[in-house]
C-alpha cells in the first residue's frame, strides 16, 4: 500500500481497550498498521475492583489520575496511540428504581454534540477501520451504550462535507465493526476444554445463567493468539480495575491458544467489497489498494 493501514478502536473507559480487541490491535501494530485507541471518558466514577487495592483512600481520592497512568502503561504495552475525548464517566447506576445519571456526564450528552470531537479525531487520524460496541454496549453500562451511539454517528458523519464543517476535512472510514469477544460458543468451547483436561472451569455458573438470549452474528475472526500474553499484560496494567489472580485469568494461555485463537467481530458497515466470513479487519481494503 502507498499508505499505512489505520485502525481506530473507540472505547468507553480506560481498561476497555485491553479487554476488548487488545490482541488484535497488538498484532496489527506489529504488522505495521497505525492503531489509535479513543477513550471517551476518564473512568472517574469507576470503583476500585481489585480487592488488593480496595480501601485505600489515596487511590480513591486520586482515581482519575491513577486511571490515566494505568492507561499510559497499557498503551505502551500494546504499542498503540491513544486519545481522550474528555467526557466524564457516568458511573453504573444501581438500585430499583435506578437513580438518575449525574449531571454533565457522558451518557446524558446529546449524541450529535458528543459525536463532534470523535468526528474531528476521525478526520485527523483518517482510519480505514473503526471498531466499537454494539447497540447493547456489550453490557448495559450507560457509557458503553453512548459509545455505540456516538461511534455510529461519527462514522456516518466523518465523510459528509456538510456535517461538522468546523471539524476538519471530510474522511470516510471504510468499515465499522462491533466487538463480539464474549460469545456463548467461545465460553462453551473453553469450558469444555478445561473439563476435558481435568481442570476446574470458571464458566460453569456463567453458562447456567446464560439463558436463551440471541447470539450475535460473528462475521470476522482475527487470528491473534501470539498476542494473548500482551493482551493480559495490558489488562493487568489497569491495576485498580483488574485482579491479576481473578476470573479473567483462570483459563491458561495454552488452552486459549489451542481452543479459541481469535478475537471476534461483527461487521456492520462496509464500503468495500468483502467476502464473509473474514479473518482480517482490513479484508477488502488491502485488495482495493492493490487494484
Residues in the annotated binding site for Zn(2+): 13, 16, 144
Strands (E), 192-238: 220-223
CA nearest to 28, candidates 237, 205, 211, 283: 283
- Known binding site: residues? 13, 16, 144
The cell for 289 is 489498494
How many CA atoms within 13 Å lie on the side-chain side of 163? 21
- Cα–Cα distance, 200 to 202 (Å, whole number): 7
Burial degree of 12 (CB within 10 A; 0-12, 13-18, 19+): buried
- Cα–Cα distance, 249 to 93 (Å, whole number): 27
CB 50 within 8 A of CB 4: no
- Cα–Cα distance, 80 to 227 (Å, whole number): 14
CA nearest to 129, candidates 290, 291, 288: 288
- Cα–Cα distance, 140 to 215 (Å, whole number): 16
Burial degree of 279 (CB within 10 A; 0-12, 13-18, 19+): exposed
Contacts 24+ apart (CB under 8 A), 47-53: 48/240, 48/241, 49/240, 49/241, 49/242, 49/243, 50/239, 50/240, 50/241, 50/242, 50/243, 50/246, 51/243, 52/243, 53/239, 53/240
Amino acid at each position: 500500500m502507498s499508505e499505512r493501514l489505520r485502525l481506530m478502536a473507540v472505547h468507553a473507559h480506560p481498561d476497555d481497550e485491553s479487554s476488548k480487541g487488545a490482541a488484535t490491535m497488538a498484532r496489527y501494530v506489529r504488522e505495521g498498521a497505525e492503531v489509535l485507541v479513543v477513550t471517551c471518558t476518564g473512568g472517574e466514577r469507576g470503583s476500585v475492583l481489585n480487592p488488593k487495592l480496595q480501601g485505600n483512600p489515596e487511590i480513591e481520592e486520586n482515581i482519575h489520575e491513577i486511571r490515566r497512568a494505568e492507561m499510559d502503561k497499557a498503551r505502551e504495552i500494546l504499542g498503540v496511540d491513544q486519545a481522550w475525548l474528555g467526557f466524564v464517566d457516568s458511573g453504573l447506576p444501581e438500585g430499583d428504581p435506578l437513580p438518575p445519571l449525574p449531571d454533565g456526564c457522558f451518557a446524558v450528552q446529546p449524541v450529535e454534540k458528543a459525536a463532534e470531537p470523535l468526528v474531528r479525531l476521525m478526520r485527523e487520524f483518517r482510519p480505514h477501520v473503526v471498531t466499537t460496541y454494539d447497540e447493547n454496549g456489550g453490557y448495559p453500562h450507560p457509557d458503553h451504550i453512548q459509545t455505540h451511539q456516538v461511534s455510529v454517528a461519527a462514522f456516518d458523519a466523518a465523510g459528509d462535507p456538510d456535517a461538522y464543517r468546523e471539524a476538519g476535512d471530510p474522511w470516510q472510514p471504510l468499515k465499522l465493526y462491533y466487538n463480539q469477544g464474549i460469545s456463548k460458543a467461545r465460553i462453551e468451547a473453553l469450558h469444555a476444554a478445561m473439563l476435558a483436561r481435568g481442570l476446574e472451569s470458571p464458566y460453569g455458573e456463567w453458562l447456567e445463567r446464560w439463558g436463551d438470549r440471541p447470539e450475535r452474528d460473528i462475521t470476522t475472526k482475527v487470528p491473534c493468539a501470539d498476542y494473548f500474553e500482551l493482551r493480559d499484560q495490558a489488562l493487568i496494567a489497569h491495576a485498580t480495575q483488574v485482579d491479576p489472580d481473578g476470573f479473567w485469568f483462570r483459563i491458561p494461555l495454552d488452552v486459549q491458544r489451542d481452543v479459541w485463537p481469535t478475537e471476534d467481530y461483527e461487521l456492520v458497515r462496509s464500503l468495500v467489497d468483502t467476502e464473509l466470513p473474514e479473518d482480517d479487519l482490513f479484508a477488502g481494503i488491502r485488495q482495493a489498494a492493490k487494484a
